[in-house]
Amino acid sequence: MTGKNDDPAYTGLLLEEVRESFRVVMEAVGDIQRQVHALPEIRQNTRLLMDDTQALKAAVRGLSNEVGGLSDQVDHHEHRIRRLEAA
């Protein structure tokens, strides 16, 4: 008496399922390898972005201080103009 496990068609079907599963696993491994390969470049770009962000923050702080100083000068000139106009 032969069981369905001895049927060549059943064995072929199982082999196809295993091959398909193996293909899916290999595609996933390939995707992971590509992502891991890109990590050093991503790290470098992240560092560069962090450095640029720090430089931008410093520039904004400097400009903010300059604007604050100019605002004080404008206030001073407006006060002097009001005094001259009142005279």
The predicted-structure confidence for 57-69, as pLDDT tens digits, reads as follows 999 999 988 888 8
Q: Which two tokens stand for residue 16?
A: 């196809």
Does the pLDDT value for residue 37 go beyond 70?
A: yes
Whether residue 10 contacts residue 4, with contact meaning beta carbons closer than 8 Å, is answered with yes
Domain that holds residue 8: 4-86
Q: Within a 13 Å sphere around the CA of 21, how many CA atoms are in the beta-carbon half? A: 6
Q: How remote is the C-alpha of 35 from its chain's centroid?
A: 14
Average pLDDT score over residue span 27-40? 93
Q: How many domains does the chain contain in total?
A: 1
CA–CA distance, 57 with 63 (Å, rounded to integer)? 10
DSSP symbol at 7: -
